[in-house]
Amino acid sequence: MTTALADPIRGRDNALNFLRLLLATAVIIDHSFPISGLSGPRHGPLSDVAVNGFFVLSGYLIAGSRVRMSGPRYAWHRALRILPGFWVCLLVTGLVIAPLSTLHSQQPWDLRLGLGYFTHNFTLVSMHDSIGSTLAHVNEQAWNGSLWTLFHESLAYVAAGLLLWPRFVRRHAVPILIAVAVLAVVAVYLANGPAFLTTNRYRDTLRLACFFTAGMAMWALRDRIPSSRWLALASAAVFVPLYLAAAFDDTPQLHAATFTPVAIIWTYVVTPFPLAYLLLWLGGVLPVRLGVRNDISYGMYIYAFPLQQLLDVLGAQRLGLAAFIVLSILVTIPMAWLSWHLVEKRALRLKDLGRARGRHVTRPSEPLPPDAAPGGRTPSRTDARA
């Protein structure tokens, strides 16, 4: 009997959290190059691929969450998923990490600057990523170059909530979600070339929409396509060569105004579905359950960049690139752990606020909600961050 793609990843017994942790680590590795100012072997658009992977997994899981929840409940869950951890990260960066950096750099800092960093950024709409002149003498002039994706993820949550609101769309999810994913691919191609769209925010929105909607379409198809190693190998055969081509792409850009090499554009156009299938298949077959109970991938993603900046201010780059990468990961893990236990997990306890206990029953044919846990245990965060 053929196993459907969805079967191995229903509930919590899967490796999706582990995959998100790997993706967050890939972002740390990629950011180590510009932050440290050190060169290394050609590493390609590694952080782009990692963020694309985050959005694929998020699209798959968010689609499932939306069809099981009312609009207000869905919005409440999504807000709890992103905002508490994000807000605390802003405060920790502005009031702890930035002033710590000035002990070595001797740059000025005061409480007004630290609180201003929070107030300027707490809405997610735009990032004002400086805190006075605290980063005046480092390679990257932003305290957290990773947080820009949270706006796009929130936008994707809103779009998914509206798209899957009508019953007609839910009844015909397969053709509609596939069509939306294809339209997103066409739009990202046009935006990076013929349409001459030069605004980064719009192009980033379209690019990430490709992968998010591919994840949503895979959710619609989850019981119709098999979990097959041959399909996974075929997906890898499409994705890996395109990624390598993008990593070593020295050809002229499709349009100079977009600053995007041709091979990278084609990874956006061709790879959303292959990457989606590959990640979901791996989530079902990998035996690793790291992160099932304590998912620190969000904390790894949001805290790594400011901690890497602190390491750079302290001179850790003088130890070499490999040491800088290892140190970046090691100092981020404790912060991510604290974020999960002190902020994220506690926020998730509010997800059923105002709801009669025991009223919701998950249908056996559907996977458990990403933020649900069998047996009344504390939920783990399974709808991905970015």
**SS3 state of residue 261:** strand
In a domain, 262, yes or no: no
- The range of the structural domain enclosing residue 141 comes to 9-122+131-172+279-350+366-376
φ, ψ dihedrals at 253, nearest 5°: -70, 150
In a domain, 33, yes or no: yes
In a domain, 274, yes or no: no
**170 Rama class: left (phi>0) / alpha (psi -120 to 50) / beta:** alpha
Q: What is the spatial distance between Cα 347 and Cα 85, in angstroms, rounded to a whole number?
A: 9
- The count of structural domains within the chain is 1
Q: What is the spatial distance between Cα 62 and Cα 68, in angstroms, rounded to a whole number?
A: 10
In a domain, 345, yes or no: yes
Sorting pLDDT into bands at 50, 70 and 90, what band is 253? low
In a domain, 261, yes or no: no
Question: Torsion angle, CA of 148/154/156/158, rounded to 10 degrees?
Answer: -150
In a domain, 91, yes or no: yes
Q: Which two tokens stand for residue 22?
A: 């790997």
Residue 172 makes CB contacts below 8 A (sequence gap 6+) with none
Q: What is the spatial distance between Cα 130 and Cα 93, in angstroms, rounded to a whole number?
A: 11
**Quick check: pTM over 0.85?**
yes
In a domain, 30, yes or no: yes
pLDDT tens, residue by residue, 281-337: 999 999 999 989 999 999 999 999 999 999 999 999 999 999 999 999 999 999 999
Q: What is the spatial distance between Cα 340 and Cα 127, in angstroms, rounded to a whole number?
A: 23
Sorting pLDDT into bands at 50, 70 and 90, what band is 40? low
In a domain, 211, yes or no: no
Sorting pLDDT into bands at 50, 70 and 90, what band is 369? very low
Sorting pLDDT into bands at 50, 70 and 90, what band is 238? very high
CA-based nearest residue to 100, from 302, 313, 327 = 313
